[in-house]
Structure 1
Amino acid sequence: MNILLTGGAGYIGSHTAVVLVQAGHKIVIYDNFCNSSKPTIDNLESVVKQKVSVVEGDIRNTSLLAQTLKQFSIDAVIHFAGLKAVGESVQEPLNYYENNVQGTLSLLRAMNELCVKNIVFSSSATVYGDPQYLPIDEAHPLAPTNPYGRTKLHIEQILEDQTKADIDFKVVNLRYFNPVGAHASGLLGENPKGTPNNLTPFIARVASGDLQELNIFGNDYPTEDGTGVRDYIHVEDLADGHVAALNFLSHTVGFETFNLGTGNGCSVLQMIVAYKKASGKKIPYRIVSKRPGDIASCYAAPTKANQILKWKAGRTLQEMCESSWAFQQYLKNSHPVSANTQ
């Protein structure tokens, strides 16, 4: 199949690109590089040992999207593009609605114009909000607690409405939990511009000496050690889940949702211990105030994906930390002056 990856140069997109090429698909990456880097494409091509088609453009540019869909005879879209930082979304909600929701509408307009009827959507466990029960299955009530999560829920609703309006339009909606780790090659990983919003790249930069200490946002949550608990999933397992979702699209109809997670919760302090073991480095930290919109615990019930998609996360927390550290060492060696710049 010919697959368009919006936001395909990003963290999850680039890892998914690898497994798609290895599975025999032809990919096209569409990205504006606002939170990714062009050298990622070079690294991706080194991993897959072939050139990759890239279109630089904004997801809100409907005409360029339509032109891309037509030029490359796209059969299906995997939609990663969007802003994704919870804290930033609280501070800049309009940017999040404009980029994420308006951007998706733009994509759907282009898909309609070119009669492209298949899409895998990169959603998030944030749509569940503060869990009413754990582990979280797909039937859990949807009540996101921050603008980022609300943009994801709005998009899910738009996609489901589209499948009802057009019986040929098919959607697999993937609710990610917390992707971490890096590709086994050490060439691809999470390297956000500026100060990281996610835990693992922040820990990585503290361990490497680029940042002085880690801020832990609250230590009085109702969890085992008082710090937030999340379901951390290796990004390569997550990438495999997209291939499984794409395969499922070929014999399904309508709108279908799957959780992608391990089913196991890990606290911030437990992650620090695991990363310290992987890196052999000290990881100084301090406790600061909770962030608006954060919740205590969130981990998946991935049974539906296990049974229907025949997919299961298999890599361990230690493997996540070790691969992340290997990628951090690659960054230090390739950019010794400023490892914080992509």
Structure 2
Amino acid sequence: MEGGNQSAISGFILLGLSDQPEQQRVLFFLFLLMYLVTGLGNLLIILAISSDPRLYTPMYFFLSNLSLVDICFTSTTIPKMLNNHITKNNMIPYAWCLTQVFFNIWFAGIDSILLAAMAYDRYVAICAPLHYSTIMTPRVCAFLVLVSWFWAYTNSLTHTILLTHLSFCGHNEIPHFFCDLSPLLKLACSDTYINDLMVYTVGAPTVFLPFVGILISYGFIFMAVMKISSVSGKQKVFSTCGSHLTVVCLFYGTIIGVYFSPTSTHTAQKDTAATVMYTVVTPMLNPFIYSLRNKDMKGALRILITRKPGFNI
């Protein structure tokens, strides 16, 4: 990726979330705690699903993939931030910065498409229950997951390659805790028209098409729920979909606000706060959101945690 790069700088300085030493210490322990909770919580979700045959269903297959991606997602940003605090060195080399951009966009894109796949799964289960087993086959589920990884990879690679053709000269301070696409484009001293165009023509579909698919799926689900006469039946459906809708609102609300709202409304503080929500807070909350309101998941986690170590012969 270095062939077209005309950069005059060797790296960038990540300013982080605060320049106050006391606040930095608090933020260090807070982000360390959130990272550990995210890793442990999502790992438990994966282990619980893989160890309980009752959870070998499309919904939990997508959830386990979402948990895996969330672990990778947070691992692209938080460890570097914690390392910067320990070493007191906020410099990130140019190549590392582009690598961080690539993986951040890639995993965010996978999250977006997986959330749409989960919404489609709920639509089929509620609106076409008699055909569910013939529609949501293992092959279809695997195909949807592969599409999410490949589609997001193509989008991420496009933005990263285009970044290598920009010139960065002089000012190299990024008012962020990791290398993100938006602040990097603002630092460029060459024309970013193509980059900005690709954000809306290549990047936007990765966010908005899955989001529209989710809205359509839940539109049909809502109409189906309205036809249910019993209150308990409606509550059961809303309970099943409530967890997913909560994650959708947290994820898309912040990511759309950062990348696709008018630039005149942006400030470094607002963008950073919104980015923390979708890159750190949402992956941390996912295990709690999906397990606390789900009896099957709580049961699988209880069995996993209380299981005695040993080997079955």
Report TM bin, short chain.
Answer: under 0.3
TM-score scaled to structure 1, two decimals?
Answer: 0.24
Return the structure number with greater helix share.
2
Return the structure number with greater strand share.
1
TM-score scaled to structure 2, two decimals?
Answer: 0.26
Higher relative contact order (CA 8 A, sep 6+): 2
